[in-house]
């Protein structure tokens, strides 16, 4: 399926409410529901978009995944960034409501790929 406005896509992932794509230039794009900050655009509005928008504060992305109500990105330095729901500690910190902008997942380094785990995402060393 083609998504209008997206070219040069090298990785993509879809979750329960949001979809993500990494472009050749290392930027990350999202569309769908922004419930719990799932779009990663810095907004906490409970809104939706059928037009891809750029995920903020991320560069050098090489892989992307979804953790149900948000996204995770692997960058070219082997670090993992996450946003969206953190109700169950999905973002590697004590459970809290949500994070509408990407932040580094603590304790992960040297990751080479992301594997989809449904409500969680599994980094591969």
For residue 23, CA distances in Å to 5, 50, 63, 69, 72 come to: 11, 18, 10, 21, 15
| Residue labelled with tokens 């330095």 | 77
Range 9-124 classified under CATH 2.130.10.30:
yes
**Chain segment 90-105, per-residue pLDDT in tens:** 888 888 889 999 999 9
Note down pLDDT in tens along the chain; length 125 residues: 678 889 999 999 987 799 999 999 999 999 999 999 999 999 999 999 999 999 999 999 999 998 879 999 999 999 999 999 998 888 888 888 899 999 999 988 899 888 765 555 555 55
| Residue labelled with tokens 């109500």 | 69
């Amino acid at each position: 399926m083609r998504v209008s406005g997206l070219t040069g896509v090298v990785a993509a992932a879809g979750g329960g409410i949001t979809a993500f794509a990494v472009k050749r230039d290392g930027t990350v794009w999202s569309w769908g529901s922004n419930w719990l900050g799932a779009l990663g655009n810095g907004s906490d509005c409970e809104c939706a978009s059928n037009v891809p928008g750029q995920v903020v504060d991320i560069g050098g992305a090489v892989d992307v995944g979804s953790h149900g109500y948000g996204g995770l990105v692997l960058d070219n330095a082997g670090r993992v960034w996450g946003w969206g729901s953190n109700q169950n500690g999905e973002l590697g910190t004590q459970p809290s409501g949500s994070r509408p902008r990407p932040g580094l997942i603590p304790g992960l380094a040297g990751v080479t790929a992301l594997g989809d785990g449904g409500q969680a995402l599994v980094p591969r060393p």
